Chain A
């Protein structure tokens, strides 16, 4: 049985939508138990209103929580019994197997980093995000590519980038059912020598010392095209890129709205495209994906979108269950161990929590 711990107080629509999502997940995931962490009174009032399985979803009391707009480090220091800290601690103590949160991203990552260990050989955890692309991938025709790191940390060494690539590849294999995900480094040119020193060194290592499907460097414009299934970069660059892509998408939507208002011909054109646009919405619906994984820790953590509704939360819980059932961390550990062996270097001792 997999025990999935859910921060019930994190997210714009917490706790109602989070509890609803967990309740729905309890009906479908018979091999899992869901532990809702948060204000027991509030959760105890909500659960009986929803269809759920009372043997598969339980409550763990945490008296406080961290709001979305709080500064992570300060909030964690001020609220030692905040739901995200209690939730991460439950997993660290072996009372849970994976964590799901739609709450404050910084606080969630820091809470994990405080009490969780990294997978042996991994030097730094990476937050991955998915982005809809033109090309699809894997058995499931997955329209999302994976970008990591998008902000778990700022810098990344060559070794970090290599482990990100291995982690991303293992994740894509499992979640997208993609047997040989195309992995690329994000750079300012496709040539091997292009980019900062860490990227150039990582490029050489990935070619020589790994058996993943490394396709070399890609540029920013290749991301929406879907040239690669896994795009590897440092947290700083990844975060900037992700937000820019989100900004572009929002601008396109605003332009379409403007066009809709401005001219009848444009409006008719948009109407004609209606079903195609609807299909695109379904394909690129982030709620169906559930959330972004924080890779590299010994326990899976799925960061659901802050605006997550019940459906997104259910899918995030399912995703956590999938990573547990598929043995993602064991796969990451195996890939890193193989890399270390090939490099012929001493295994890095990484029992300390990552610095964020």
Chain B
């Protein structure tokens, strides 16, 4: 269910490393737990992120959840399409529902592979 070629965090985010740039989003588990996502707040291009710190919000009809920066670095892209269609995160969390791309300049939080992440969610 969770793509094998991605890495994951205990905060239910996925990470795709493309050279120096990493793209991240929230996992299928996270979107399902939140329910219908109706609003997304993302950092702007050029913003500095610090690994483990909140950098945005994903909000559903019933609750709000922080987005945590998985790495330290500079935002190089944000998924503007989510401003108008945040529900794409529900329908395609690992594809069109990506959140942010960051040029990493420092440490990341601890990453898990798909099997370790599934073990993590199974224990919740």
Is A bound to B? no
